[in-house]
């Protein structure tokens, strides 16, 4: 039932500053900006978001996978990768090593927390990790241009994997396999550098990881988080800081067999274009937004 990832919404304390950061350092382009409507805030069950500033940005490739930054203050004690829910955005790039040199500039608002390295000793996939201006974590990944793989078309291209972390990986796996009927891999253990740094573990410590394959182009990585992780702090009536929600295209919002946080309704703002929109919470507390395909 889940199809393409359409929007990744990030709560940012300064929308203008983060828009400039993504434009200058990651080649993203602003395509829409304004204030959140009351209708959309009601669908989110986040009434205090009405009137908040937002900016929608698109990769240089022109792919219709958008980053939407919405004004949300980041709590002073918020630490990336230490709370449950959406924790990272994985983006296709052409040259992680060259990008590391760019983002390593003293003026860069992106902090490198994982230098470029292969996913495993024999893997052709190479990735690095950074923390951005809104305390969001980005995995910047090169996938070789081979048959059956979708490589970056521009230096920095589109998101293709979302990372969700939960206390009970089996509950999160079951949520995506049972509710959305997508294939979910068994949980295997893998090294997670950024997670290990956040929790003070040895960098080679492994954690359970599973993949929910939405299509050839998109996936959700499901991570089992350690007991030192906690619930994400969210102010009443607002969206979460950092990665607040992920929007997916579905055949029909009304056909979803799970409770929504508020009544679904048609939203005219970009990129909904009058389609029906609904929102639900996942097994790790993550917020999922759905847009009816028609």
Query: For residue range 138-166, what is the model confidence (pLDDT) as tens digits?
Result: 999 999 988 777 899 999 999 999 999 99
Q: What pLDDT is recorded for position 149?
A: 76
pLDDT in tens, 4-13: 999 999 999 9
Q: Collapse the DSSP code of 25 into the 3-class scheme (helix H, G, I; strand E, B; otherwise coil) and give the result.
A: helix
3-state secondary structure 58-85: ECCCCCCCEEEEEECCCCCCCCCCCECE
Position 120 confidence tier, pLDDT thresholds 50, 70, 90: confident
- CATH number belonging to the domain at 5-74+237-292, selected among 3.10.180.10, 3.20.20.70, 2.60.40.10, 1.10.10.10: 3.10.180.10
Q: What pLDDT is recorded for position 117?
A: 93
User: How far from the centroid of its chain's Cα atoms is residue 237's Cα?
Assistant: 21
Neighbours of 115 (CB within 10 A): 13
Is this prediction's pTM over 0.85? yes
DSSP secondary structure code for residue 184 in this structure: B
Q: Is a pLDDT exceeding 80 seen at residue 243?
A: yes
- Is 5-74+237-292's fold the same as 85-224's? yes
Sorted by where each begins, the domain ranges of the chain are 5-74+237-292, 85-224
Q: What pLDDT is recorded for position 164?
A: 98
pLDDT in tens, 77-87: 899 999 999 99
256, containing H or E segment: none
Q: Is a pLDDT exceeding 80 seen at residue 211?
A: yes
Q: What pLDDT is recorded for position 82?
A: 97
The mean per-residue pLDDT over the stretch 124-136 comes to 96
The mean per-residue pLDDT over the stretch 216-230 comes to 97
Q: Which residue in 60, 73, 92 sits closest to 15, CA to CA?
A: 73
CATH topology of domain 85-224: 2,3-Dihydroxybiphenyl 1,2-Dioxygenase; domain 1 (3.10.180)
Sign of CA dihedral 73, 65, 5, 35: positive
pLDDT in tens, 53-64: 999 999 999 999
Burial of 188 (0-12, 13-18, 19+ CB in 10 A): exposed
What does each C-alpha distance from 242 to 15, 84, 130, 133, 178 come to in angstroms?
A: 12, 12, 13, 9, 28
pLDDT in tens, 247-293: 999 999 999 989 999 999 999 999 999 999 999 999 999 999 999 99
Mean pLDDT of the chain: 96
């Amino acid at each position: 039932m889940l199809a393409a990832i359409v929007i990744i919404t990030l709560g940012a304390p300064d929308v203008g500053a983060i828009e400039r950061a993504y434009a200058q350092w990651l080649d993203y382009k602003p395509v829409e900006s304004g204030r959140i409507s009351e209708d959309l805030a009601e669908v989110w069950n986040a009434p205090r978001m009405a009137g908040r500033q937002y900016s929608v940005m698109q990769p240089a490739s022109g792919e219709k996978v958008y980053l939407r930054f919405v004004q949300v203050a980041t709590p002073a004690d918020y630490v990336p990768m230490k709370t449950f829910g959406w924790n990272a955005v994985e983006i296709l790039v052409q040259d992680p090593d060259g990008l590391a040199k760019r983002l390593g500039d003293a003026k860069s608002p992106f902090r490198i927390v994982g230098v470029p390295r292969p996913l495993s000793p024999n893997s052709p996939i190479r990735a690095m990790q950074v923390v951005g201006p809104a305390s969001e974590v980005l995995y910047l990944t090169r996938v070789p241009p081979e048959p059956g793989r979708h490589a970056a078309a521009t230096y920095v291209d589109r998101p293709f994997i979302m990372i969700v972390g939960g206390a009970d990986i089996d509950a999160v796996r079951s949520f995506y396999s049972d509710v959305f009927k997508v294939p979910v891999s068994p949980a295997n253990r893998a090294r997670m550098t950024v997670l290990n740094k956040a929790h003070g573990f040895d960098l080679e410590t492994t954690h359970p990881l599973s993949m929910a394959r939405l299509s050839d182009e998109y996936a959700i990585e499901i991570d089992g988080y350690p007991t030192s992780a906690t619930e994400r702090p969210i102010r009443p009536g607002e969206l979460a800081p950092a990665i607040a929600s992920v929007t997916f295209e579905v055949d029909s919002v009304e056909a979803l067999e799970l409770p929504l946080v508020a009544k679904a309704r048609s939203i005219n703002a970009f990129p909904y274009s009058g389609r029906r929109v609904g929102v639900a919470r996942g097994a790790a507390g993550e917020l999922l937004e759905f847009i009816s395909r028609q």
